[in-house]
Structure 1
C-alpha cells in the first residue's frame, strides 16, 4: 500500500521521495473516502420505522460491500436521539421524516436530501384503547407520544381535524421502545406510534385506529439526509449507497418471504406483521425518485414539501420559512446505472 511504502521510505532515509509519496498518500486517502472504501464506514442512523428496513436488509445481504462501499447501519431507539446524533456529527446520514429534516435545518443544520425513502400511507397512527372509538373521545384523556417532530406533527394534524387543541388533552412522553408496554399496561388512553408496533397493538391488543397518515397522504415523507459537507466530499460513495438501496427494494419485491424472515428476526417481530406493515407505505423506485426530484414534475418534492412547511409555520414548529431549492439534490440519483434486479 502507498502509505505503508511512505513510512518504509522514511525509515530507510530516502528523503528525496518523501514529498511525492506524501502527496500520493494523501490523494489515495482522499479517493478512498470519496469512494466509500476507507477503513471507517459511513454511518447511517435509522429508527424502528418499517420504511427504513431495507437498510437493515441491505446490510444483511451484504449489498453495500457488493457495491464497494462500507456502511454501518446504526439503529436508534428514538428519532430524538437520532436527530441529536446527526447534529453532533456522530453519524453522516440519517433516515428522517421531511418535517424532522425541516426542524433540523430550521435550527441551523446544513444538509442535503438525496432520496425519498417512502411515503407513509397509514403506517403512522394514533391508536386508542378498545373503549376509545374516535379522536373526539380523547378530550380530557391521556395521549402518549414520543417528543419527536413527526409524532407532534401527526398528533397536531389529528387534533386539528377534530377541532381539539392540545390543551384539551393530557400529553405524556413515551419513547418508542416503551410504546408497546405503555399501551398494554393502559398507562395511556391513546398512543401516537408507527409500524411495526402499531400493527401489533391493533392485531394483538384490541387497539382502535383513530387516525393515520392515510388521512394526510403525502404529508409524512421519509427521506435520506446527509450533512452538507459530507455530501459534497463523498458523492461517489453516496451513489453506491443509493444503488444498494434500490437493489434491496428489488429483492423485497421478488423475495418477500425471505426478506420478511430476515428483517423480522432482527426486529423481534413476525414476518406477517412486517408484510402487513408494507401495505401502509409506498417506497418509490429509482425512476419514481428521479421524477419526484424533477422540479418540472407534477408530483415533485418541492410541491409536497411546501404543504408541510405551511403547517409547521402555522403551528410555530418553525421560526422561519425553509427554502427547499438547495436542500434536495438529484445529482447522485442521476449517476446510478443499472442497479441489480432480482428474480423470484
Structure 2
C-alpha cells in the first residue's frame, strides 16, 4: 500500500529534472499508480475505455508504491497516486505535487493487529509493537494510543519494515504490529486468534488517498486533467453498483493478481469518495473531515518524526478547483 520515503538526490535527480522541462508538457499524461483499491479503481476506466471517451490521453504506469513516489520525485511522471501525507514528503524533497482529487480514505485496511488474548489498545501497555517508524501506520498507532489514554511512551516500538510485520508477529517477538493491507491481513492469517485492536475505521480521514500532479503539467494540460477528474464518478458508480461490482472486482483483482473474492475484502476497508463527497473534503477547515485539516496533522507528524525539518505550506499542495469544476 503506502510508504513514506526520503527520496534519492544527486546527479540523476538533477538530470531528470532537466529532462522534465520537455517531458512535462507531452501530450500523454504519465500517471503512476499502485496497489491500493482507491487507485486500482482507475483500472476500470482504463479497461472500459472511458478515458479515451473523455479525450484523456493518459499513460497509467504500474509501480510498487515507494517506487512510484521515487519516479515522481525524479520528474519521470506527471502525477502520482499518493496519500496526503506522502505528497508533503515528495514536496519537501524537491518535487511538489498538487492534490486535485481525493479518491478515498482508508476505512479499516490500516490496522494495529495484536496477539491472541490482547483485546484492546490498553492491553499493549508496556509491550513491544512492531511498526515502520515515520510511516503512516506509525501515525495510526499514535492515534490509537491517544484514544486509549496512552502515548508512545507506554509501548516499546520495534522499527520493522511493513512487509516484514506479519512474520514478526508470528514469531512472537512483539505483542502487536501496525500495518496496512495486505500485510495486516497476512498477519491475521498467520497468527490464529490475532485481532485488530485499532483500525483506520476509527479515525476516518486520517489517511486520504489522492492524485498529486506536477504544477507544470497542470498548467500545460489543464483541460485533460479536468476531463480525467470528470471520469471519476463513473468509476465509483461502477464499483459500487451491485449490478456492475462483480465486473469491477474482476478487473481490479486481475490487475493485482488476487481473486475477486479477496479483493472485495480489501475494497470494504476503503471508503471511495464521489466527486460530491470530494467537494466536501476540499472545504478548508480543521479536523479529519477536511483534506486541509488532515494534511496539517500529517505535516506535524512528519516534522516530529524528522521526515523533514520545517512545516509545509499546506495550501500550496491542495487545488480544489478541478473537483469543484465538475457539475
TM interval, shorter chain, is 0.7 to 0.9
Instruction: Tell whether 2:90 aligns with 1:101.
Output: no
Which residue pairs with 1:342 in the alignment?
Answer: none
Instruction: Tell whether 2:105 aligns with 1:119.
Output: yes
Q: Identify if the C-alpha distance between structure 1 residues 304 and 265 changes in structure 2 by more than 3 Å, giving closer, same or farther.
A: same
Instruction: Tell whether 2:183 aligns with 1:194.
Output: no
Picking from 263, 269, 292, the partner of 1:302 is 292
Instruction: Tell whether 2:275 aligns with 1:286.
Output: yes
Q: Identify if the C-alpha distance between structure 1 residues 297 and 149 changes in structure 2 by more than 3 Å, giving closer, same or farther.
A: closer
Q: CA deviation at 1:88?
A: 0.8
Mark the structure with the bigger radius of gyration.
Answer: 1
RMSD: 3.4
Normalization by structure 2: what TM-score?
0.76
Task: Return 105-114 or 300-309, whichever deviates more.
Answer: 300-309
CA contact 1:292–1:301 (8 Å) conserved in 2? yes
Q: C-alpha distance in 2, partners of 1:147/1:51?
A: 24
Instruction: Tell whether 2:73 aligns with 1:55.
Output: no
Q: C-alpha distance in 1, partners of 2:255/2:172?
A: 27
Q: C-alpha distance in 2, partners of 1:118/1:236?
A: 23
Q: C-alpha distance in 2, partners of 1:202/1:272?
A: 17
Deviations 1:284-331, CA, capped at 9 Å, x for gaps: 212222233244899543344334434445555552222222321123
Q: C-alpha distance in 2, partners of 1:125/1:65?
A: 37
What secondary structure sits across from 2:196 in the alignment?
Answer: strand
Which residue pairs with 1:12 in the alignment?
Answer: none
Instruction: Tell whether 2:212 aligns with 1:222.
Output: no
Which residue pairs with 1:271 in the alignment?
Answer: 260
CA contact 1:144–1:191 (8 Å) conserved in 2? yes
Aligned ranges 1:59-74 → 2 under 5 Å: 59-74=46-61
What secondary structure sits across from 1:248 in the alignment?
Answer: helix
Q: CA deviation at 1:209?
A: 0.3
Aligned residues: 301
What secondary structure sits across from 1:276 in the alignment?
Answer: helix
Normalization by structure 1: what TM-score?
0.73
CA contact 1:51–1:117 (8 Å) conserved in 2? yes
Q: C-alpha distance in 2, partners of 1:271/1:106?
A: 38
Deviations 1:10-54, CA, capped at 9 Å, x for gaps: xxxxxxxxxxxxxxxxxxxxxxx86x8x3xx42222332222221
Picking from 310, 333, 342, the partner of 2:323 is 333
Q: C-alpha distance in 2, partners of 1:220/1:314?
A: 17
Q: CA deviation at 1:114?
A: 0.1
Where in structure 2 are there 5+ consecutive unaligned residues?
1-23
What secondary structure sits across from 1:289 in the alignment?
Answer: helix
Picking from 219, 229, 237, the partner of 2:224 is 237
Instruction: Tell whether 2:78 aligns with 1:92.
Output: yes
Deviations 1:243-292, CA, capped at 9 Å, x for gaps: 23222112112211111122123223332332233332322212222233
Q: Identify if the C-alpha distance between structure 1 residues 251 and 226 changes in structure 2 by more than 3 Å, giving closer, same or farther.
A: same
Q: CA deviation at 1:217?
A: 2.3
Which residue pairs with 1:156 in the alignment?
Answer: 142
